[in-house]
């Protein structure tokens, strides 16, 4: 294929792309030199359009206002290849313009839309250098966007540092998002202590924001990851022992023991050294808050969203304890027993019965659900309802005899943490 034929086919394909003409019809056009002239003219027009903006700005002496209007027009048309050329031309010709930062910002976003993250990163850094310390909010925003850009480039350390700078800026919404990104990346890097501190800081600084709830969930997951190793003893297995008897002796659960020792099953051998977690959990449940706190030694370990009793079957308040636990429970409905795994079974995958002297005959409990969309509502017959994955987690942690307090609103309590800085901060807040 000679150079002319190659050019002709490329022109045709470009024409095809822009005019939505079928490939077969377009190839037939190649045989007609008059049509070829039109195609070449069209191709040249596209090329001139691509370069026209920068030529106009740099060669034909557009003033600043005209050049800025041209940039806005190309940006609105979202032809990002042209936009980039136009914006670069403006920055080059009017480097001291009051609008140059806005233009650079648009340039960075244009690179972002092209997924040209390397070029985008350079522009954010130029914005930082241009504004620092004139406009701290623009610098903060640029650092935050630089963090996102560096994440896309898999430069996690660079991204983390950028987010850290952005988290200390004056714009609170950006600081909030940047701080959460610091926690998230720290967790990804297995810097759990740092992540825990950051999540705790978000809950303290932005208690009413959605990120505070997300941070609380993240902190709860980290607490459950580290809590067993921070609170365990070693037990040497004796003749006649099994995991159930050992769990009862230490007032813990079989799942906690198997997880602490990396056991695939419940088989143990005489003389084996077992790590036995020694945490005694409890539950505080806020009926109006629609939250349950998992507690250990008075500290919040994790929180869970719940559903509570409907207006005609309200959830009672008072002090209770866990009296039995069962997997795949049968629901004894007003219409008769509903077996496990039946779509009509409202108890979900797990059941933990709670009782005190006043409710022994009522059948009150904490259970899963076949309707996760009802979590957060007043819909049950008085029981506490959780998502199945949440009741499964609690089932593995809570022992028979553990305390459960049902109250209208939850008491203020400090969060558990294995990180000393958080413990000290919570103790100071409590003493105040």
**Could you give the residue numbers annotated as active site?**
367, 383
Between the CA atoms of 40, 43, 45 and 48, what dihedral angle is there, to the nearest 10 degrees?
A: -120
CB-facing half-sphere around the CA of 322: CA atoms within 13 A:
23
For Cα atoms 396, 397, 400, give the angle at the middle one, nearest 5 degrees: 95
CA dist., res. 221 & res. 93, Å (int): 53
CA dist., res. 362 & res. 406, Å (int): 15
CA dist., res. 213 & res. 219, Å (int): 10
For 54-105, the three-class secondary structure string (H helix, E strand, C coil) is: HHHHHHCCCCHHHHHHHHHHHHHHCCHHHHHHHHHHHHHHCCCCCCHHHHHH
Strands 299-305 and 291-296, sheet pairing: antiparallel
Q: Which helix (H) or strand (E) holds 215?
A: helix 210-230
Distances (CA, A) of 426 to 210, 240, 346, 411, 422: 22, 44, 39, 15, 6
CB atoms within 10 A of CB 387: 17
State yes or no: cis peptide before 129, omega within 30 of 0. Answer: no
Classify the phi-psi angles of 410: left when phi > 0, otherwise alpha if psi is within -120 to 50, otherwise beta. beta
First to last CA, the chain: 85
Strands 281-286 and 403-407, sheet pairing: parallel
For residue 372, the 8-state DSSP code is: G
Tokens of 332: 């004894």
């Amino acid at each position: 294929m000679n150079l002319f034929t190659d050019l002709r086919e490329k022109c045709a394909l470009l024409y095809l792309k822009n005019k939505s003409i079928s490939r077969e019809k377009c190839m037939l056009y190649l045989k007609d030199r008059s049509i070829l002239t039109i195609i070449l003219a069209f191709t040249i027009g596209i090329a001139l359009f691509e370069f026209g903006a920068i030529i106009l700005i740099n060669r034909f002496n557009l003033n600043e206002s005209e050049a800025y209007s041209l940039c806005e027009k190309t940006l609105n048309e979202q032809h990002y290849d042209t936009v980039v050329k136009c914006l670069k031309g403006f920055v080059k010709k009017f480097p001291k313009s009051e609008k140059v930062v806005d233009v650079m910002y648009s340039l960075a976003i244009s690179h972002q839309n092209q997924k040209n993250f390397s070029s985008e990163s350079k522009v954010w850094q130029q914005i930082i250098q241009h504004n620092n310390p004139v406009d701290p909010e623009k610098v903060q925003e640029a650092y935050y966007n630089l963090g996102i850009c560096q994440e896309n480039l898999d430069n996690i350390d660079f991204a983390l540092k950028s987010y850290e700078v952005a988290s200390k800026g004056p714009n609170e919404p950006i600081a909030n998002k940047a701080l959460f990104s610091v926690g998230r990346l720290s967790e990804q890097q297995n810097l759990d202590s740092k992540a825990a501190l950051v999540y705790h800081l978000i809950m303290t600084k932005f208690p009413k924001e959605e990120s505070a709830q997300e941070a609380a969930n993240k902190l709860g997951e980290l607490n459950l990851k580290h809590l067993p190793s921070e609170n365990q003893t070693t037990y040497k297995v004796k003749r006649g022992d099994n995991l159930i008897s050992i769990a009862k002796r230490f007032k813990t659960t079989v799942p906690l023991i198997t997880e602490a020792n990396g056991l695939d099953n419940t088989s143990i051998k005489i003389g084996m050294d077992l790590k036995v977690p020694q945490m005694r959990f409890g539950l505080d449940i806020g009926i109006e808050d629609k939250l349950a706190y998992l507690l250990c030694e008075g500290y919040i370990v994790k929180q869970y969203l719940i559903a509570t009793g409907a207006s005609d079957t309200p959830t009672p308040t008072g002090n209770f304890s866990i009296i039995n636990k069962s997997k795949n429970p049968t629901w004894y409905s007003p219409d008769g027993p509903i077996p496990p795994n039946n779509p009509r079974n409202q108890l979900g995958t797990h059941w933990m019965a709670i009782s005190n002297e006043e409710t022994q005959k009522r059948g009150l409990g904490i259970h899963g659900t076949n309707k996760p969309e009802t979590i957060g509502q007043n819909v049950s017959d008085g029981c506490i309802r959780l998502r199945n994955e949440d009741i499964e987690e609690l089932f593995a942690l809570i022992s028979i005899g553990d305390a459960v307090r049902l109250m209208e609103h939850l008491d203020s309590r400090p969060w558990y943490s294995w990180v000393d800085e958080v413990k000290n901060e919570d103790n100071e807040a409590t003493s105040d």
